[in-house]
Structure 1
């Protein structure tokens, strides 16, 4: 009987050890390809040309290509990347909670955000603009006063409108840009404001071709950065090195041509990593 109890106890210990090992393997988010782990990266799901979840479940866009390149330099294969949707209003919280390792999601670098997260980059310079119907008479920021304007909750574009561009605009804030574009198409809103890179991607979609136009206003400078958890200077340094390499080896230009070419978006040249354009 005593021998049976010893054997049973040993079996229980082995079972617990195996269970703990198995559980531990599920949480390898930072081990890189050599450890067979995964990395969670925050992107947008609804921005054509930048971050878009396609019908087959794959992801496409400039931010996706940048994130994939950075992850590769950190030691991860594309198959090891879990892309997580991070809406504008939840980006800081997603990093603080540890939901994602870094975020590449049209994330403009601002002093307010830098108090909460660290940024690598910038990797793209965009400008706030307006998307209006092709026959619209709206041509400048002042024209928005009294008009129905749509932007996304938590975006710098919405804040800029309220503070400086058109304080008397009837601003409507939705959770995603797709809702704003649908509102513009139906006539529920008169204009949509966000970065020109985002607006160009929507305007280039087949279902919207010929319906909209960009006003061509450079209402602000939007320096897109890669957000990572506050205080993780080692990761920030690695990401900056990856971005510098991407610009230097031609991969950045190739990603721009692939994702923005169809929209005829006139992008700015590759920014110098670490230099913010005010």
Structure 2
């Protein structure tokens, strides 16, 4: 009887140990087969130069940043599972735990900080205007008066220009940025406005090389951060990774590779926690 009781107690201790192991570090994911580490990261799938899914894989500045961070957290590139993070879904995805972190042209704002935490910022972008390379008539935001300015459905960027800088601008709604670029190339519109990093990414595509230029207006400050679940200890670890990425030159290399063809004049890498108003 004593032997049976000891065996039962030992089994209970073993079960508790297995349970504790299964509930281990929040920073390491396990796949359902084989126990290999995996990490799920949210990015954009449809923004060239930022985050894009192609037949060849995933590319863009945010993809490079996220891959670097994952490596610093102990994951190889083939252990990353990319998940599309549309703008309207990002906070919910983090709150539900669908992803470990999100790198998706994710501007840090007070409203978003109430719902999620941000590491970074890792890039300071600005609202700007993309025009044709041979168009020298738009030298300031006020020159957009009476010009045809592309407004992507669901975006407020063009409306902000009209409300604050060029009240006589003629807004034309297009379904996508790619459609705006085609309209800009065909002279159906005169300008496209959103974050300069996004504009540079589109303009840097091989099919558009040399056809467009950034006006350089810097109308707003957009502090891109890495979104994590509220209270997650990943924030500090990601900040450390971002600082290393800047110091070892990988950050500048990623900027040049993804935005360079559009002559994007990027801001220096921002200091962690330095959010420009």
For normalisation by structure 1, the TM-score amounts to 0.77
Please name the residue that 1:104 is paired with: 103
RMSD, matched Cα: 2.9
Q: Is the 8 A contact 2:117 2:235 kept in 1?
A: yes
**Match 1:31 to one of 28, 31, 55:** 28
**What is the Cα deviation at residue 208 of structure 1?**
1.4
Q: Is the 8 A contact 1:46 1:177 kept in 2?
A: no
Aligned to 2:150, the other structure's residue is in SS state strand
Q: Is the 8 A contact 1:145 1:170 kept in 2?
A: yes
Q: 2-side partners of 1:263 and 1:138: how far apart? A: 18
**What is the Cα deviation at residue 225 of structure 1?**
0.7
Please name the residue that 2:51 is paired with: 51
Please name the residue that 1:189 is paired with: 189
Deviations 1:106-150 (A, max 9, x none): 111122222332211000112211012234423322233454433
**What is the Cα deviation at residue 78 of structure 1?**
0.8
For normalisation by structure 2, the TM-score amounts to 0.78
Aligned to 2:126, the other structure's residue is in SS state strand
Distance 1:155 1:272, change over 3 A: farther
Aligned to 2:213, the other structure's residue is in SS state strand
Distance 1:71 1:88, change over 3 A: same
**What is the Cα deviation at residue 67 of structure 1?**
0.4
Please name the residue that 1:205 is paired with: 205
Deviations 1:218-256 (A, max 9, x none): 111111111122x23412122112111211222212222
Q: Is the 8 A contact 2:121 2:275 kept in 1?
A: yes
Aligned to 1:38, the other structure's residue is in SS state strand
Q: Is the 8 A contact 1:184 1:191 kept in 2?
A: yes
Distance 1:256 1:210, change over 3 A: closer
Deviations 1:63-88 (A, max 9, x none): 11100111122222111111122233
Please name the residue that 2:249 is paired with: 250
The runs of 5 or more residues in structure 1 that have no matched partner are: 1-23
Q: 2-side partners of 1:118 and 1:37: how far apart? A: 24
Distance 1:167 1:258, change over 3 A: same
Q: 2-side partners of 1:117 and 1:167: how far apart? A: 35
**What is the Cα deviation at residue 275 of structure 1?**
0.8
Q: 1-side partners of 2:170 and 2:92: how far apart? A: 28
**What is the Cα deviation at residue 153 of structure 1?**
5.3
The runs of 5 or more residues in structure 2 that have no matched partner are: 1-21
Aligned to 1:149, the other structure's residue is in SS state strand
Aligned to 2:233, the other structure's residue is in SS state helix
Which region of structure 1 is more displaced relative to structure 2, 208-217 or 255-264? 255-264
Please name the residue that 1:273 is paired with: 272
Aligned to 2:138, the other structure's residue is in SS state coil
Aligned to 1:112, the other structure's residue is in SS state helix
**What is the Cα deviation at residue 55 of structure 1?**
2.8
Please name the residue that 2:70 is paired with: 71
Please name the residue that 1:139 is paired with: 139
Distance 1:81 1:221, change over 3 A: same
Q: 1-side partners of 2:179 and 2:148: how far apart? A: 14
Q: Is the 8 A contact 1:43 1:51 kept in 2?
A: yes
